[in-house]
Amino acid sequence: MPERLITHLRHVDIAVPDFARQLEFYTSVWGLTQVGGDSGVAFLAAEGSPEQYVLRLREGDKRLDLIAFGAQNPPHVDARAQRLTSAGVKLVSEPGALATLGGGYGFRFFDVDGRTVEVSSDVAFREHRPIEEKEAIPVRLSHVVLNSTDIDATRDWYAKHLDFRLSDSLGGVMHFMRCNPRHHSFAVARGPHVSVHHISFEMRGLEEYMRGTGRVKRSGARFVWGPGRHLAGDNTFSYFLDPHGNTVEYTTELEELDEDSWHPHIYDMRDPTVQDQWGTANPMSELVAKESFNDEDPGLFQAPPL
Ligand SMILES: [Fe+2]
C-alpha cells in the first residue's frame, strides 16, 4: 500500500452573492447544521461527521473559495509543502497554525487550474453523532467534482502532486480519483471552463437517500438528474441545483475498493447502464449535462479573502 500524505476530503468553501438565501437552502432544505460564522460567513457541519464543517459559505461574488484535504500529521503537511515548492507549485500560504474552526496546521496553494487548495492536519474533531434510521440529512461530505478544460492534465497533476490515484474513467468525460479506499473523493469532469461541477453528500443509506431526495424535490429546488445508481463507484445519485446554480448531490453506498487488486476501468458514457444501473433516472442528455457546467469561476489564481 502506498504511503498517502493526503487522507481525506475535509470541506468545500464557496462564495455567493445572496448569502441569506444560500444559507437557508443548506440548513433548512439540504440538512446541514450551522456551527459558526460571522456576518457574511457561515460554517456548516454534517451531523454525522467529525469534521468541524463540510461547507463554508461566504457572501461575495460567486466563486469557489477553497477545497480542503486532510493529512495525517504536521510532518506530512510540511513534506507536502516542500514537495510542491520544489516542483514549482505556487503556495498561497506557508505551513502554519490555522485560524479556522478547530485550529490545526496547514497551508494553501493553487492547483493546476488555479483553484485554491488547503492541506491540513491536527484539526480538532467535532462532537458528532450517529444518524438515525429515516433521518434524511447528510452524514458527511462524500466527494467534490470539478470542471476542467483539460481533464487529463488535471488528473495527472493531482496524481503527481497530491498522490491521488485513478479509480475509473468515463472515456474522455470524467476521471474519478481516490486518496483512500473510497472509490472517489475527487473527480474531474470535462467542461467549457474551470468551475465546480458538483459537491456530493453521503446519506446514511438508501432509505435516507430517497427521503432526502423527496424533501429537496418538494422544496422546489431544481432537480437535475436522478434518482439512480452510477456504475463507476456504484453509488446512488440525486443531483439538484442550489440557489446559485451549483450542483449538489445526495449519494449513498459509494464503493470501497480493494486497492491492491483494483484496476481502473474506462467506461463508455453512451451506455445507459454506465450512467444509471437502475434505469430509474431521467435520461442523460446534453441539456442535463450542461446544467452542471456552472458559471466560469472568476477566482482562479486568486486567494480568497479569509
Ligand atoms: Fe457525484
Q: What's the whole-number mean pLDDT along residues 257-267? A: 96
Q: Starting from the edge strand earliest in sequence, which strands make up the sheet with 116-121, in order?
A: 33-38, 41-45, 55-59, 6-16, 63-71, 116-121, 105-110, 91-97
pLDDT per position as a tens digit, 198-221? 999 999 999 999 999 999 999 999
Better pLDDT: 12 or 4: 12
Q: What is the value of pTM for the model shown? A: 0.97
User: How many angstroms separate the alpha carbon of residue 193 from the centre of ligand 1?
Assistant: 19
Q: Which of 35, 23, 212, 32 is nearest to 140 (CA)?
A: 32
Q: Give the pLDDT score at 306.
A: 74
CB-based contacts of 282, cutoff 8 Å, min separation 6? 225, 226, 288
Mean pLDDT of the chain: 96
Q: Give the pLDDT score at 4.
A: 67
User: How many angstroms separate the alpha carbon of residue 249 from the centre of ligand 1?
Assistant: 6
pLDDT per position as a tens digit, 50-68? 999 999 999 999 999 999 9
pLDDT per position as a tens digit, 157-192? 999 999 999 999 999 999 999 999 999 999 999 999
- The whole-angstrom separation of Cα 252 and Cα 203 is 5
Residue written as cell 450542461?
A: 290
Q: Give the pLDDT score at 53.
A: 98
User: How many angstroms separate the alpha carbon of residue 251 from the centre of ligand 1?
Assistant: 7
Cβ pair 73, 123 in contact under 8 A: no
Cβ pair 178, 257 in contact under 8 A: yes
- Banded pLDDT at 1 (limits 50, 70, 90): very low
Residue written as cell 451506455?
A: 271
Q: Give the pLDDT score at 5.
A: 77
Whether 27 has a pLDDT exceeding 60, the answer reads yes
User: How many angstroms separate the alpha carbon of residue 238 from the centre of ligand 1?
Assistant: 9
User: How many angstroms separate the alpha carbon of residue 88 from the centre of ligand 1?
Assistant: 31
Cβ pair 78, 105 in contact under 8 A: no
What are the beta bridge partners of residue 238? Answer: 250
Q: What's the whole-number mean pLDDT along residues 245-269? A: 97
User: How many angstroms separate the alpha carbon of residue 275 from the centre of ligand 1?
Assistant: 11
Whether 275 has a pLDDT exceeding 50, the answer reads yes
